[in-house]
Amino acid sequence: MRKDGRAKHELRHIEIVPHFTKHAEGSVLITVGETKVICTASIENKVPPFLRGQKKGWLTAEYSMLPRATEQRTIREATKGKVTGRTMEIQRLIGRALRAVIDLEKLGERTIWIDCDVIQADGGTRAAAITGAYTAMVLALTKEKSYVEWPITDYLAAVSVGLHPDGGPICDLDYKEDSDVDVDMNVVQTGNGRYVEIQGSGEEAVFSRTEMNDLLDLAENGIRELIHYQKAHLGEANGWIERSYG
Amino acid sequence: MRKDGRAKHELRHIEIVPHFTKHAEGSVLITVGETKVICTASIENKVPPFLRGQKKGWLTAEYSMLPRATEQRTIREATKGKVTGRTMEIQRLIGRALRAVIDLEKLGERTIWIDCDVIQADGGTRAAAITGAYTAMVLALTKEKSYVEWPITDYLAAVSVGLHPDGGPICDLDYKEDSDVDVDMNVVQTGNGRYVEIQGSGEEAVFSRTEMNDLLDLAENGIRELIHYQKAHLGEANGWIERSYG
Amino acid sequence: MRKDGRAKHELRHIEIVPHFTKHAEGSVLITVGETKVICTASIENKVPPFLRGQKKGWLTAEYSMLPRATEQRTIREATKGKVTGRTMEIQRLIGRALRAVIDLEKLGERTIWIDCDVIQADGGTRAAAITGAYTAMVLALTKEKSYVEWPITDYLAAVSVGLHPDGGPICDLDYKEDSDVDVDMNVVQTGNGRYVEIQGSGEEAVFSRTEMNDLLDLAENGIRELIHYQKAHLGEANGWIERSYG
Amino acid sequence: MRKDGRAKHELRHIEIVPHFTKHAEGSVLITVGETKVICTASIENKVPPFLRGQKKGWLTAEYSMLPRATEQRTIREATKGKVTGRTMEIQRLIGRALRAVIDLEKLGERTIWIDCDVIQADGGTRAAAITGAYTAMVLALTKEKSYVEWPITDYLAAVSVGLHPDGGPICDLDYKEDSDVDVDMNVVQTGNGRYVEIQGSGEEAVFSRTEMNDLLDLAENGIRELIHYQKAHLGEANGWIERSYG
Amino acid sequence: MRKDGRAKHELRHIEIVPHFTKHAEGSVLITVGETKVICTASIENKVPPFLRGQKKGWLTAEYSMLPRATEQRTIREATKGKVTGRTMEIQRLIGRALRAVIDLEKLGERTIWIDCDVIQADGGTRAAAITGAYTAMVLALTKEKSYVEWPITDYLAAVSVGLHPDGGPICDLDYKEDSDVDVDMNVVQTGNGRYVEIQGSGEEAVFSRTEMNDLLDLAENGIRELIHYQKAHLGEANGWIERSYG
Amino acid sequence: MRKDGRAKHELRHIEIVPHFTKHAEGSVLITVGETKVICTASIENKVPPFLRGQKKGWLTAEYSMLPRATEQRTIREATKGKVTGRTMEIQRLIGRALRAVIDLEKLGERTIWIDCDVIQADGGTRAAAITGAYTAMVLALTKEKSYVEWPITDYLAAVSVGLHPDGGPICDLDYKEDSDVDVDMNVVQTGNGRYVEIQGSGEEAVFSRTEMNDLLDLAENGIRELIHYQKAHLGEANGWIERSYG
């Protein structure tokens, strides 16, 4: 049994507030348990120099935490004058994940800027950021119609799973669980059940193939539920997405 | 008459949500019209090296904007690797303003870190940040009791006022008004009606002493109202503050 | 009575050496008491990208101190790899102040670069920098005739005033007085007596409206004297400036 | 069939030159096909501040490429003044991987610095770096005897595998293959066959669970062969490692 | 007598491995005693902006050390975020030296990038870098034929000499000798015996004109030998170089 | 004949204003022709960490140019966020030069900070900086008596010489001459006629041993004259210096 009474496979309470801020083309506040992330999608009508004239778009992501999103205040990266390795790793992951379900040629010569800002952290911030950013991106495209042809090819969500020394595989770790597990894995998967990204690592620990399979089973289940929840906020875009992998 | 129907002296709609995030000792979400700022106050039980052993505390402030708080996406300062001049000016102002109403000897050897993060901007972000940060600071001290003797000596709020080319002095400018005025002034004032900071500047314009006096009258009126609103959230701290300037 | 025997309203001894260095279009060495600042104005025949094609010019300012301008040696900002908040605040102030008395359309598509380098500091460096930079700018324009139509619309000078705990309001603070006052205020004013910038702040202190009025009276008096002194160095430009606000 | 005639499961030619440079406690030049990496392990008799007094050691890794290791010259990170996201991601991976097979308490209060410098790149540099760095680390510990008790708990090697659009899963990708595959995966595994890290990502592509299983099979086979090769260079350390998981 | 038995005028053992890495147009591994430097020459078909349209080429050099090239590990400049003064001085020296024997007009609108990466250091790294870089440059030009007319006008090599407190002037200092000498001098000379660069400095010491002449004699002798060795690797380029100063 | 009518061996007009600024322990304004440099020497009663407890002092130098010291305005290094290679090279040279004539053990555990700030540049700034900095250092030590035993062991001055394509070797180059010469050499020499530093380089040119000897003759003559001039400002220190090499 977990501290908060959840079963091993159970997700924390999820909430997505669409259109959370007024300036961004698409934005949500996603809450997963006590983790809260503002995700915005901004659409700009040009592409970076290396893509000009190729009739393709681009998508890039940035991630940050407010200094007091965490239990101990962390120093701002702007104050330090550089982005940490952890932040870079996460923003590269978010970008890669979203690019897997968008057809950049159908997007046309546009750039989508994804910004994920964690205002309260309690574990699973990168997974929540991907799930929220996907939603913000679809909302932005639905509202602005700024594409050549509908470019989103599938649903997308992410979850963290881990091997707890006391109780084996568990799904959707909070901060305390995340510090306790031997192995943690982030899984990004589509509505079709295909993988976009699997990152499993055993910091000062190792894991067997059987354990990995258990973790992937838990993740798949969690992601199905997350996507179910996303659909409730996507309106008419649901039809376009489903048609595209029909 | 102003675009949104307000009279010259009228403030926009204000809302303060106390205890907005869970980790900070004190935190609020302050909303002024369409401007929204998360303000947190973190208390650390040590002081910077230059103050060690002096039985005094310290307070310092940081300010930032989410990239899509604004109509056009702005580049993150962490990505640029440096803090802009505008941000530095604002965070120095917030720190100076709050230090004027806290007795650092009564605080004892502690540091208060103020973080103001604008999640949506529509003019007046520095004034909203000061008003919100003051509230967060009082909430933090009330809850944590981390002081030698109650250190807050007065209420504190800030407002922007300006000279509009069409209609003269107006109070609490939104973004559009802020771009239109010839002269803008930020006023920080205490519950006692004394000034902490006056910054008036005419970018490519100048102003007379009479105009300045009109602006100060408008500001005083707005600040009185803001402090009235603050008091509703400060609970038992009201008694301690009032006693300290009684 | 002040340490150096001055009356409350009295300025320190002022000296302006025009054409102090040979390469800049305009340059002065301004001495105010023991404070010495080299101010140069460089005129470049192009504007920054955001202004191209708009038939307007631009003016920007930078400020720095030699490491041993101060009593204790300060680390060079170039060595630290970044400009401090104090420097940014001052250079933004100098730029804003000068732009208030220059008609950028009459300047035409040119940039004026103002550089203020403090070689000896004894309080009031930002005020001396503004007064000196204005003079250097007028000398540069007079000599180079690089404008569409004479663009300077008024005289400009700055002074610092403050509330001393022992003796009330005083004008033109030296370094020692600057550390002692509760409230200090920088005032930038034109020949016409109109304000360009007022920055009053009480670091760990507050001030009343009456006190502010006393400070503004002192400042006005000092600025009138400074402008009187400036005029002696501006030659034929005096006629053009006076005509422009006649 | 692959360009260079290899079968799908076949590794490129491998060579490890032990004691490649003279100053480092341990060093190798590892060659995998045309990829060449100098890996050194430096042992320092102290730990970073956050670990002092805890009777544990630390291991950290850095990774870099010579500018002309690549087909097009790349700009030095020192010249740019910052480390790229890709480099950070790789050096964090190397550190995490090695820490999984070293018992930091048995190491005692020492830091192992791993440096991986790619002098020629042709795909698979991060995998070669991990395999080489592990070897350098064991050589350093064997030679210096700088530990409390023998700390290495298992063998360790890494390989990249990918899904090629023409021919399905392949092992040990060269640069050309790496650009062609839809999905690539880096696998770090121990002598015992347990996983330390799995990073699979489909840049603009997705993959099924079956495909993932095929990739893991290929990787396991390659890693077994790499470890077989490593053993030939580890001398008496082989006995100690085997005993520790015996 | 020197530690390693060399006579005062004697060079350490030299070895040049041409074509050491595969991507660079020209590359060598130069070994001088225990000092080893990888030198590459990359040819790019464009020039920096300040030279565009002038029908001249450019040559620029960079220098770095692997962290564990030295007895104590040094921090990477990329990690520090800046290039040290020593590195800057050396890379400027290498560039200046090579530009003295290349006719940039005959090179045409091309840039030669020289990269010198020290993989093992034992004194004399800057001299070895110049001697190796010259060789790599000639190999690159010979192989690529990327010039308008053969541009190399002379041979070029460098050596360090010094005044040892025990035994007077010595040639080609190793690390230990370099720390012991009072005065050290780097000399860069051409095949024709003319100087390109002389940098003699007495850190906390001084030297007479006679001592300087002794040092220059030793250096000349060493450089003749180095160039003799270089010629063995330059093949048909020897004829072209000799003709150009014939 | 040179542009300004000087003979080949002739220095430009020199002027040294001692005690130029009031805060530094020692300071001069040195003028050489149209080149003007403010040199200050600051004495601090501690040494950098690497020297603590060794009963030795330290001396370090920094060099900078005001943006408009030059004909074209140059960007501030503080604004760029880094010190250029040229500046680093010069400040390392100044430090090395001065350390050659100061006995750091006699100085005791103190640091001398030298700051050279060029306010007007017309060639020869690094030579003028060394000559001026030496004077400022001696003035500081004479005034403050902050040493264990008088530490200055000799006089010190620097000059630039060069090979002009039209007229052969010339002494003390102005900016125009400096751009025209094929070879330029900076020579730092003591009162005793011994060398501290010789840096001769032929940017895109070479020079023979005979030419070098001519340059050294010219330099020696110039330096003798510079030292003669210095002595006039050193007062009682002259006796102490002369005794130390008596």
Model confidence at F215: pLDDT above 60: yes
| Phi-psi domain of C66 (left: phi exceeds 0; alpha: psi -120 through 50; beta: other) | beta
Model confidence at E238: pLDDT above 90: yes
Contact D100 A203 (CB under 8 A): yes
In angstroms, rounded to a whole number, what is the distance separating the alpha carbons of residues E68 and D21? 9
In angstroms, rounded to a whole number, what is the distance separating the alpha carbons of residues D152 and C159? 70
- Give the gap in angstroms from C-alpha D31 to the nearest C-alpha of chain A: 26
Sheet of A111-120, strands arranged across: A14-18, A26-32, A35-44, A111-120, A58-65
Q: Which among F161, F68, F71, F53 has a CA at the least distance from the CA of F118?
A: F68
In angstroms, rounded to a whole number, what is the distance separating the alpha carbons of residues E177 and E4? 11
CB atoms within 10 A of CB D166: 9
* pLDDT at position C62: 98
In angstroms, rounded to a whole number, what is the distance separating the alpha carbons of residues F51 and C184? 43
CA E50 to chain centre: 26
- For B38, the closest of A77, A87, A119 (CB atoms) is A119
Tell me the average pLDDT across A166-178. 94
Q: Tell me the β-bridge partners of F62.
A: F115
* pLDDT at position F246: 56
Contact C117 F66 (CB under 8 A): yes
Q: What angle do CA B16, B18, B20 make, to 5 degrees?
A: 105
Beta strands at E14-18 and E26-32: parallel, antiparallel or unpaired? antiparallel
Mean pLDDT over the full length of chain E: 95
Q: Which amino acid is at F227?
A: I
- B→A contacts (Cβ < 8 Å), by residue, are 21-24, 27, 34, 36, 38, 40, 42, 44, 62, 64, 66-71, 73, 76-83, 87, 113, 115, 117, 119-121
In angstroms, rounded to a whole number, what is the distance separating the alpha carbons of residues B113 and B41? 6
- Three-state DSSP class for F145? coil
Written as six digits, the tokens of C168 are 């009330």
Question: Binding site residues of B for phosphate, as ranges?
Answer: 86, 124-126
Mean pLDDT over the full length of chain C: 95
E126 labeled binding residue: yes
Q: What digits encode the pLDDT tens for the residues A189-221? A: 999 999 999 999 987 789 999 999 999 999 999
* pLDDT at position F167: 80
Beta strands at A195-201 and A183-190: parallel, antiparallel or unpaired? antiparallel
- F→C contacts (Cβ < 8 Å), by residue, are 21-24, 27, 34, 36, 38, 40, 42, 44, 62, 64, 66-71, 73, 76-83, 87, 113, 115, 117, 119-121
Q: What digits encode the pLDDT tens for the residues E24-48? A: 999 999 999 999 999 999 999 999 9
Q: Using alpha carbons, list the distances in angstroms from residue C143 to B111, C115, C147, F222.
A: 54, 18, 11, 38
- Using CA atoms of C69, F81, F59, E75 in order, give the dihedral in degrees to the nearest 10: 150
Q: What digits encode the pLDDT tens for the residues B108-142? A: 999 999 999 999 999 999 999 999 999 999 999 99
Model confidence at C246, pLDDT cuts 50, 70, 90, reads low
CB-based contact E67:D115 (threshold 8 Å): yes
Q: What digits encode the pLDDT tens for the residues A25-46? A: 999 999 999 999 999 999 999 9
- For A23, the closest of B38, B70, B82 (CB atoms) is B70
Q: What angle do CA A80, A81, A82 make, to 5 degrees?
A: 95
Sheet of F156-164, strands arranged across: E168-171, E156-164, E183-190, E195-201, F195-201, F183-190, F156-164, F168-171
Q: Using alpha carbons, list the distances in angstroms from residue B122 to B2, B4, B37, B162, F188.
A: 15, 13, 11, 15, 62
Mutate to test the interface with D, among A134, A195, A218 (most CBs of D within 10 A): A195
In angstroms, rounded to a whole number, what is the distance separating the alpha carbons of residues B118 and B129? 8
CA A107 to chain centre: 20
- Give the gap in angstroms from C-alpha C167 to the nearest C-alpha of chain B: 19
- Three-state DSSP class for D17? strand
How large is the greatest C-alpha to C-alpha distance in chain B, in angstroms? 56
* pLDDT at position D36: 98
- For residue E163, what is the DSSP state? E
* pLDDT at position B203: 76
Write the DSSP string, D144-184. H--SSS--B-S-EEEEEEEEETTTEEEES--HHHHHH-SEE
Write the DSSP string, E175-237. HHHHHH-SEEEEEEEETTS-EEEEEEE-TT--B-HHHHHHHHHHHHHHHHHHHHHHHTTTTTH
Model confidence at B237: pLDDT above 70: yes
Tracing tokens 């003591």 back to the chain, one arrives at: F190
**Residue in E with minimal Cα distance to F104:** E204
* pLDDT at position A244: 83
CB-based contact C215:B198 (threshold 8 Å): no
CB-based contact D71:E99 (threshold 8 Å): no
Q: Which amino acid is at C207?
A: F
Q: In terms of residues, how long is chain A? A: 246
In angstroms, rounded to a whole number, what is the distance separating the alpha carbons of residues E116 and E62? 6
Tell me the average pLDDT across B163-172. 93
Write the DSSP string, F74-114. ---HHHHTS--HHHHHHHHHHHHHHHTTB-HHHH-S-EEEE
Tell me the average pLDDT across F33-48. 97
* pLDDT at position E205: 85
Write the DSSP string, B184-229. EEEEEEETTS-EEEEEEE-TT--B-HHHHHHHHHHHHHHHHHHHHH
Q: Which residues of E touch D121 (CB under 8 A)?
A: 23
- For A206, the closest of D82, D88, D195 (CB atoms) is D195
Q: Which amino acid is at D32?
A: V
In angstroms, rounded to a whole number, what is the distance separating the alpha carbons of residues B57 and B48? 9
Q: What digits encode the pLDDT tens for the residues C61-102? A: 999 999 999 999 999 999 998 899 999 999 999 999 999 999
Tell me the average pLDDT across E208-219. 96
Q: What angle do CA E73, E76, E80 make, to 5 degrees?
A: 125
Q: Which among B185, B191, B130 has a CA at the least distance from the CA of B160?
A: B185
Mean pLDDT over the full length of chain B: 95
CB-based contact E110:E42 (threshold 8 Å): no
Beta strands at D58-65 and D111-120: parallel, antiparallel or unpaired? parallel
Sign of the torsion formed by the C-alpha atoms of B11, B15, B21 and B22: positive
Contact B212 C190 (CB under 8 A): no
Write the DSSP string, A196-241. EEEEEE-TT--B-HHHHHHHHHHHHHHHHHHHHHHHTTTTTHHHHH
Q: What digits encode the pLDDT tens for the residues B22-56? A: 999 999 999 999 999 999 999 999 999 999 999 99
* pLDDT at position A46: 94
Model confidence at A88: pLDDT above 90: yes
* pLDDT at position E246: 57
Written as six digits, the tokens of A104 are 């950049």
Tell me the average pLDDT across B182-198. 96
In a structure prediction context, what are the per-residue pLDDT tens digits for chain D, which is 246 residues long?
Answer: 799 999 999 999 999 999 999 999 999 999 999 999 999 999 999 999 999 999 999 999 999 999 999 999 999 999 998 899 999 999 999 999 999 999 999 999 999 999 999 999 999 999 999 999 999 999 999 999 999 999 999 999 999 999 999 889 999 999 999 999 999 999 999 999 999 999 999 877 899 999 999 999 999 999 999 999 999 999 999 999 998 865
- Using CA atoms of B144, B145, B148, B154 in order, give the dihedral in degrees to the nearest 10: 100
- Give the gap in angstroms from C-alpha F133 to the nearest C-alpha of chain C: 13
Q: What proportion of chain A, given as a percentage, has pLDDT over 70?
A: 99
Model confidence at E131: pLDDT above 90: yes
Tracing tokens 């490519």 back to the chain, one arrives at: B204
Q: Which residues of D touch E38 (CB under 8 A)?
A: 66, 119
Contact F82 C78 (CB under 8 A): yes
* pLDDT at position C1: 77
| E-assigned strand segments in C165-239 | 168-171, 183-190, 195-201
- For F206, the closest of E82, E190, E216 (CB atoms) is E190
In angstroms, rounded to a whole number, what is the distance separating the alpha carbons of residues D131 and D196? 13
Q: What digits encode the pLDDT tens for the residues D159-214? A: 999 999 988 999 999 999 999 999 999 999 999 999 999 999 987 789 999 999 99
CB-based contact F23:C66 (threshold 8 Å): no
Q: What digits encode the pLDDT tens for the residues B47-80? A: 999 999 999 999 999 999 999 999 999 999 999 9
CB-based contact D197:D186 (threshold 8 Å): yes
Q: How many CB pairs under 8 A join D and E?
A: 97
Written as six digits, the tokens of D192 are 């015992």
- Give the gap in angstroms from C-alpha D205 to the nearest C-alpha of chain A: 5
Q: Which residues of C touch B92 (CB under 8 A)?
A: 85-86, 89
Q: Which amino acid is at D84?
A: T
- Give the gap in angstroms from C-alpha E160 to the nearest C-alpha of chain D: 22
* pLDDT at position B196: 97
Q: Which amino acid is at F181?
A: V
Model confidence at F21: pLDDT above 60: yes
Model confidence at B245: pLDDT above 80: no
**Residue in D with minimal Cα distance to A193:** D208
- Give the gap in angstroms from C-alpha B142 to the nearest C-alpha of chain A: 19
* pLDDT at position B246: 57
Model confidence at C245: pLDDT above 80: no
Q: Using alpha carbons, list the distances in angstroms from residue E171 to C141, E202, E215, E218, F243.
A: 61, 16, 8, 6, 35
Tell me the average pLDDT across E72-90. 94
Q: Tell me the β-bridge partners of D31.
A: D15, D36
Model confidence at A52: pLDDT above 70: yes
* pLDDT at position A246: 57
Contact B190 C206 (CB under 8 A): yes
Contact E194 F207 (CB under 8 A): yes
